[in-house]
């Protein structure tokens, strides 16, 4: 299983703070899965940063079992 945690606008679009998702091979596969279950994320995800266990990730980043994936939209302010 993977834990997906949503922040700020991604949380609002997902409608939940976090969720457990079955293990998937990559960030791209996870993105496809979560958008299928939460369509409002389709508008937010393209501008979000994704962290896997605290490290910046891209679509081809592999997801180890038990990983924490965080979805962070851009933050305003300074």
Q: Which CATH number does the domain housing residue 10 bear? A: 3.10.20.30
Number of helices (H) and strands (E), helices first, in the chain?
Answer: 3, 5
Helix (H, G, I), strand (E, B) or coil at 23: coil
- Overall domain count for the chain: 1
Mean pLDDT of all residues in 5-27: 97
Residue 44, Cβ density class (10 Å: 0-12 exposed, 13-18 middle, ≥19 buried): buried
Q: For 20-48, what is each residue's pLDDT tens digit?
A: 999 999 999 999 999 999 999 999 999 99
77 within some domain: no
pLDDT at res. 45: 94
- DSSP-derived pairing of the beta strands 18-21 and 68-72: unpaired
Q: For 56-75, what is each residue's pLDDT tens digit?
A: 999 999 999 999 999 999 87
18 within some domain: yes
Q: Is residue 77 scored above 70 in pLDDT?
A: no
Instruction: Tell me the whole-structure pTM to 2 decimals.
Output: 0.92
- DSSP-derived pairing of the beta strands 18-21 and 49-52: unpaired
Q: Is residue 10 scored above 80 in pLDDT?
A: yes
In terms of residue numbers, what domain contains 8? 2-72
78 within some domain: no
15 within some domain: yes
7 within some domain: yes
């Amino acid at each position: 299983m993977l834990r997906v945690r949503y922040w700020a606008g991604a949380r609002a679009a997902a409608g939940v703070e976090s969720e457990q998702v079955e293990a998937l091979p990559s960030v791209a596969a996870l993105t496809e899965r979560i958008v299928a279950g939460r369509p409002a994320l389709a508008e937010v995800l393209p501008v979000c940063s994704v962290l896997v266990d605290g490290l910046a990730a891209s679509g081809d980043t592999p997801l180890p079992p038990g990983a924490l994936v965080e979805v962070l939209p851009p933050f305003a302010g300074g």
